[in-house]
Structure 1
Amino acid sequence: MVGRSRSKSPGSDPVSDRTQALPESSTPPADGPPGTLWARMKTDPEYAPEHLALEAVRRLGPQARAWAAQTRAERPDLDPDALAHLATRRFTYQARLSGAISGAVGLPGTVVDVGVLAWTQARMVLHLAAAYGLDPTHPARATELLVLQRVHRVAESARLALGVAAGRERASRIFEGMAGRPLAGVMLRLGAKLAQMAGVKATKRFFVKLVPGAGLILGTWANAAATKHLAQRARDMYRPGH
């Protein structure tokens, strides 16, 4: 794996003991993809996961690196596994909230929800990479993100798709190429691709948005479950010796 740069921190206490002192209430509210990214994904829904991964590394990578550096400075007793535990807990909590972000129902609400969830999960993966001493701003993180989120099975196909998406991004303008394309069709395709990336079935998302109150149960459960599974895969990938 390219772009590795590890650092070690001392610490021998159990992870739960070292992290329980940090309050859950300090977790910032979840947010979603920036407007410019939404525009690119609507223009090019087939490559929405690749656009999201590229933007996440550019925009969220520096935040993850700063978080890891600050947390290590404030809590030198935390080892990489403890830092990873903090990140997992923080973003699983945010994922539970992501279903209530849009306040919209039907197709628009579904697309926004899965987009926010995929963005939150990308942020978590980059924080986990930083926790284990990897540079979260390295281009390799975008490839790993797509493999971890099972958009692509192998790194080679992920790299190829990222190259295509990057080329299309440079060659396009906001919403260029959408003329004559039914918006509902674009949104359906975009929602399906983002749902695949977030690890949540689109059919479940539609049910959550169409049935009053369902989101309180299905939405929080599905978001948390998908995010926890992703966190475990990321920790397995980034932990030394794996």
Structure 2
Amino acid sequence: MTEPVDLAADAGEVREDGPPAGLWAKMKADPEYAPEHLAIEAVTRLGPRMAAELEKLKGQNPGAPADALASMIVYRYVNQSRLSGAVGGAVPVAGALLDVGVLAWTQARMVLMLAANFGLDPAHPDRAVDLLVLQGMHKYTQTARTALAVARGREHIEALLPAQRPEMRKVLVRLGLKLAQMAGVRAVKKMAAKLIPGAAIILGSVTNGNATRALGGRAITLYRRPPMPIPHQLPPGAVRNS
């Protein structure tokens, strides 16, 4: 019988649209800071690609305003998120872990493309802060910055020797719950059940789509620039009251 740990270890290779293998290794080694590791990797790897994707979308829709493009972007990634809920043929722990990892990665693509759509650099380190705040991992930008700095530092520290590492199933469950929280899966008890062998299979497409749509709305609200106020025109000779 295939061990769930084996599939999870190769998760980055199983799904090309999800986190790369190196990121899976970082998150497994440091599950508590998995969202921070994912945000850093997403901005580095996906930022330039999302800028190019936006230019392609603009070329396909010449003259479309930013709000219309934003709706197209959210629609695209909601559909992709729904598809990521259809992972099959995997044991429960690895299957659920794979799904939430792909979902969080897909959502990062969407947020970075929305940032580019509203005139921000999707490859700027501040986008990692945005991701963590938008996805509810941190309430304030400063705490998100601090957590990202800690995660970057921990990448270079072997905090746990092999003999001291906790039992791998517990690591995977912890990692799955952190990624589920990042992806907006608020039903933690349901997610926990999916991570228990013999329980329900993976996240449903509706859950994935709803979480991504909600995140897209928050990102648009954050990145959309408010219109410039129109100065009030006074009649000639009139005096403005201070």
Say whether 1:234 aligns with 2:219. Answer: yes
Q: Distance in 2 between matches of 1:30 and 1:90?
A: 17
Checking the alignment, whether the CA contact within 8 Å between 2:81 and 2:103 is kept in structure 1 is: yes
Q: TM-score with structure 2 length normalisation?
A: 0.79
Aligned length: 209
| 1:90 maps to which of 49, 61, 76 | 76
Written as runs of structure 1 = structure 2, the 5 A alignment for 1:154-233 is 154-172=140-158, 177-180=161-164, 181-200=166-185, 201-205=187-191, 219-233=204-218
Corresponding position of 2:97? 111
1:58 to partner: Cα distance: 0.5
Could you tell me whether the CA contact under 8 Å between 1:30 and 1:98 is conserved in 2? no
CA distance in 2, matches of 1:168, 1:45: 11
For residue 144 of structure 1, what is the aligned residue in structure 2?
130
Question: In the aligned structure 2, how far is the partner of 1:102 from the partner of 1:169?
Answer: 32
Q: Secondary structure at the match of 2:204?
A: helix
Q: Which residue identity lines up with residue 221 of structure 2 in the other structure?
A: D
Query: In terms of mean alpha carbon deviation, does 155-164 or 61-70 score higher?
Result: 61-70
Mapped partners of 1:54, 1:186: distance in 2: 21
Q: 1:70–1:172: structure 2 CA closer, same or farther, 3 Å change rule?
A: farther
- Is 1:124 matched with 2:118? no
Counterpart residue identity of residue 57, structure 2:
T
**Structure 1: gaps of 5 or more residues:** 1-28
Displacement of 1:169 in angstroms is 1.4
How big is the shift at 1:94? Answer: 0.4
Report if the CA contact (8 A) 1:205-1:219 is conserved: no
Report the 3-state secondary structure (helix = DSSP H, G, I; strand = E; otherwise coil) of the residue aligned with 1:156. Answer: helix
Say if 1:231 and 1:240 are closer, same or farther in 2 by CA, change over 3 A. same
SS in 1 for 2:123: coil
Percent of matched pairs sharing the same residue:
51
Quickly say closer, same or farther: Cα 1:39–1:64, change in 2 above 3 A.
same
3-state SS of paired residue (2:119): coil
- Look at both structures and tell me which one has the larger radius of gyration over its CA atoms: 2
Distance 1:33 1:155 in 2: 24
Aligned CA RMSD, in angstroms, stands at 2.2
Structure 1 CA distance for aligned equivalents of residues 80 and 124 of structure 2 = 24
